[in-house]
Structure 1
Amino acid sequence: MSSHDVVELILQDHRRMEDLFRTLRNAEADRAAALAEFANLLIAHASAEEDEVYPALRRYKNVDGEDVDHGVHEHEEANEALLALLEVEDTASQDWEDKLEELVTAVNHHADEEERTLLNDARENVADDRRAQLGTAFREARARYLEADCGSVENVRKLVAG
């Protein structure tokens, strides 16, 4: 299993998001810093998937195209939940806690579903060398989004306005 494998790279991001959720739920933590990291990671991850991974998976007959469409739809829902949290100014408020839980629910639901459908299908149907190629493309796209501060509230507003 190479660390270039696109499936492994996506799973690593999902686990990092779970770690960040634990930090965000901790009232003693630097919630603003954790949210900034989370926002950048979520947007870069989802955008790189939509640019490089989803179109490639759609071409495999054993990967369900409807699962791909559904993944894109769930990215949009996660972006809306992220924006709602980014727009709450007081990280100690009940509103912030409520919006955080909505974001956690949206992202965990999507990650869980993606792991059970698309990623399992990719593991079974896409050759190792192709998964490595996709992993490189995913990593490069993700890095470009991260460098562009893709998780800024201004950018997330633009994405949600679509």
Structure 2
Amino acid sequence: MVTTLENKNRQAIAERLADVKAFQNLIISNEQKLLETCQDQDLRERLQNMLSDDQKNLGIIDTVIVQYGVQSEPNPASQKIIEQYEQLMSSNDISLYQKFIQLETLKHGQCMSGIVIHKAAQKVGADIEVALGPLNTVNFENRAHQEQLKGILEQVGVREMTGQDADQGLWARVQDAVAALSGVAGSVMTQNTDKQDMNIQTLIRLDHNKVNTIFTEIGATKDPQKLQEYFGQLYKDLLAHAQAEEEEVYPNVRSFYGDNDTQELYDEQAQMKQMLDEIKAIDPTNADQFRSKIKDLMDVVGDHVRQEESTLFMAIDRNCSDEQKEQMATRFKAAKSKIQQGMAESVK
């Protein structure tokens, strides 16, 4: 019987990711409330830019959760904190300055959560680090927003106390420079600066990278228990990926990729699914047979990956607009998330 990688450490990371998503929604809600009450045009422009970034970053967080492949609800304590924040930000008893302080605090919390999740991934598994890669842009942009909010707090705080605008001195210039640098670094990390979602090639490639990492981990361990655990994750990831492609990608590319080439992709994945079930049935103590079958599976998956990342990706680029590629990615991600949720429900 295959064991899975949904141990307590991986489940803890899944819960923290769910927290990050819940707090991201809270940040977006708070920024929208601030836009409703803030009259200063310069501050409104900064807020609107942050809101656009945060709405995009919510899509990235969703992508990371699907790539990670372990579903969770936010921690109950986090849900209580969010409820308290919502009440506070809706209150007329605190000033605009105090509301911006709360937003800056939330941004700091998101930065620290992102760092802690990455540090935890380094201790738990290389495949997690691969899945979490896109989260880097969220971390960098939250850091940039923190610096921008310090400048906003300076302006709003001085204005509330004196009725006059603060002088734009050294601190403001430093704040703008750090914010710009952090934003550029975040953009470089994912090359995803102006899109609500990644395109379909990027999402598929992220899946391929994670699977290749798990194959590497299987090859590097001699622990029978670890072999079974890694295969458990590989089994789920490959099945969810294949089913989502068959639902949302292959039917939409057949018209320009061709019947024969598209059917070849279906056939390769059918072979892969059969091999996964054969490996799943192997006695865990028969390490030699297990490794031999894994090697065969790796060859089949490798051929499939090479075809997708060469001819299929080129065909998509030639025949689909950026918007169509992003829409396909959105549908693929939603299908994969639904499949993962079904898998989780089936083992309860």
Superposition TM-score, scaled by structure 2 size: 0.41
Query: Residues 201 and 313 of structure 2 are in contact (CA less than 8 Å); yes or no, is this contact kept in structure 1?
Result: yes
Q: Aligned equivalents of 1:11 and 1:120: distance in 2?
A: 13
- Which residues in structure 2 correspond to 1:21-32 (within 5 Å)? 21-28=215-222, 30-32=226-228
- Which residues in structure 2 correspond to 1:1-162 (within 5 Å)? 2=195, 3-28=197-222, 30-60=226-256, 63-90=257-284, 93-149=287-343
Q: Aligned equivalents of 1:53 and 1:64: distance in 2?
A: 13
Shift of 1:80: 1.2
User: Higher relative contact order by CA 8 Å / sep ≥ 6: 1 or 2?
Assistant: 1
- The DSSP-based 3-state class of the residue aligned with 2:249 is helix
Q: Aligned equivalents of 2:326 and 2:320: distance in 1?
A: 10
Q: Aligned equivalents of 1:139 and 1:19: distance in 2?
A: 20
Query: Residues 67 and 117 of structure 1 are in contact (CA less than 8 Å); yes or no, is this contact kept in structure 2?
Result: no
Fraction of identical pairs, as percent: 24
Shift of 1:112: 0.8
Q: Aligned equivalents of 1:26 and 1:96: distance in 2?
A: 14
Q: Aligned equivalents of 2:335 and 2:264: distance in 1?
A: 21
**Pair member with larger Rg:** 2
Question: What residue identity is the alignment partner of 1:54?
Answer: Y
Q: Aligned equivalents of 1:126 and 1:65: distance in 2?
A: 18
After TM superposition, what 4+ stretches of structure 1 lie above 6 angstroms from structure 2? none
- The DSSP-based 3-state class of the residue aligned with 1:148 is helix
Query: Residues 21 and 104 of structure 1 are in contact (CA less than 8 Å); yes or no, is this contact kept in structure 2?
Result: yes
Query: Residues 7 and 123 of structure 1 are in contact (CA less than 8 Å); yes or no, is this contact kept in structure 2?
Result: no
Shift of 1:113: 1.3
- The DSSP-based 3-state class of the residue aligned with 1:59 is helix
Aligned length in residues: 150
Unaligned 5+ residue runs, structure 2? 1-191
Shift of 1:107: 0.7
Shift of 1:91: 5.5
Superposition TM-score, scaled by structure 1 size: 0.85
Question: What residue identity is the alignment partner of 2:213?
Answer: D
1:33-83 deviation per Cα after TM superposition (whole angstroms, max 9, x unaligned): 2111111110111111110111111233xx223211110000001111111
Unaligned 5+ residue runs, structure 1? 155-162
Query: Residues 31 and 91 of structure 1 are in contact (CA less than 8 Å); yes or no, is this contact kept in structure 2?
Result: no
Q: Aligned equivalents of 1:95 and 1:113: distance in 2?
A: 28
RMSD: 2.0
Query: Residues 78 and 107 of structure 1 are in contact (CA less than 8 Å); yes or no, is this contact kept in structure 2?
Result: yes
Shift of 1:28: 3.8
Shift of 1:119: 1.5
Shift of 1:92: 5.7
Question: What residue identity is the alignment partner of 2:242?
Answer: A
- The DSSP-based 3-state class of the residue aligned with 1:88 is coil
